[in-house]
Amino acid sequence: MNALSLQAKFIRIRSNKLFEIFVISVIIFSALLVGAKTYEMSPTMYHLTQFLDWFISAFFLTEITIRFLAEERKKDFFKNFWNVFDTLIVVVSLIPAEDADLAVIARLVRVFRVLRMISIIPELRILLVSLVKALPQLGYVMLLMFIIFYIYAAIGSTLFESINPDLWGDIAISLLTLFRVMTFEDWTDVMYETMEVYPLSWAFYLTFIFFTAFAFLNMVIGIVVNVMEQENELARKQKAKEEAAEHDLEEEPTLSDLLVHIKGLQQQVEQLSAQTTKQEK
């Protein structure tokens, strides 16, 4: 078995849906195991959880090795952020949890194993990448929203401080009150209290809600959805490229195929040579 056929088998294992589901199941079981360790348990159960923990670590090490061997160019494996993230989680998970000095770190790393679901499940990966890539555009929206918050907080603190200092005493408290209004947490109680002194103060709250809860939050959703569509398109292209590469590897002739082809050519040459000799006679 040559290197190309071996790599093709690793690629088939990596892209196999059953293998992917099994990996996800082990990740979920690992998270449940971490939660189970927070309860008191008998010595037998404790030793069983320790064995299962080492089994999970060994499985993750095997799985990351398969993914590494399936990579056509081994150097490119670590150019992918998710491969580096998974490798780091797996390697640090090998820290013995029984070591008193490293026990806390080991337990924390085992908790973060559940984050591997993001790198395993493409849909979750697209969601996270889309959110990160949308942050620069979201930053300007957040800045504009903060300006609106600051203006309304200054107005509210100036007009309503005498009505309720607990809600409008200074600009910092006013910002918290406006956040409460934006999230619709009993905001009508705040509005009705100020309307007893300023009957037209409802305009203050309604315009603020329109700018923040409706306009700006919809802008945030629009930006994230737009970036997500771009990431989905890139993911589709990448998947098509990987399937094409896998197809090429499967069609790559092995040494045995070449020997059979050569033997067939030799037989054809011998037949032609025999026919030529027969015609000459």
Neighbours of 130 (CB within 10 A): 19
d(CA 227, CA 95) in angstroms, rounded, equals 38
d(CA 177, CA 209) in angstroms, rounded, equals 12
Q: Which residue has the tokens 């600051």?
A: 150
**Exposed (0-12), middle (13-18) or buried (19+): which is 47, by Cβ within 10 Å?**
exposed
Q: For the segment 152-192, what is each residue's pLDDT rounded down to a tens digit? A: 999 999 999 889 999 998 899 999 999 999 988 888 999 99
Helix (H, G, I), strand (E, B) or coil at 94: coil
Architecture of domain 137-228: Orthogonal Bundle (1.10)
Which residue, 135, 114, 106, 95, is CA-closest to 30?
114
pTM: 0.56
Q: For the segment 8-24, what is each residue's pLDDT rounded down to a tens digit? A: 777 777 777 888 888 88
Structure tokens at 105: 């770190």
The pLDDT score that the predictor gives to residue 123 is 77
Torsion over CA: 268, 271, 273, 276 (sign): negative
Q: For the segment 188-208, what is each residue's pLDDT rounded down to a tens digit? A: 999 999 999 999 999 999 999
> Domain extents for the chain?
3-120, 137-228
What value does the mean pLDDT take over residues 107-115? 74
Examine domains 3-120 and 137-228 and report if their fold is the same: no
Q: Which residue has the tokens 């930006």?
A: 223
On whether the 3-120 domain is CATH 1.20.120.350, my answer is yes
Contacts (Cβ under 8 Å, ≥6 apart) of 231: 126, 129, 130, 133
Determine what percent of the chain falls in helix, strand and coil, rounding each to the nearest 5. Answer: 85, 0, 15
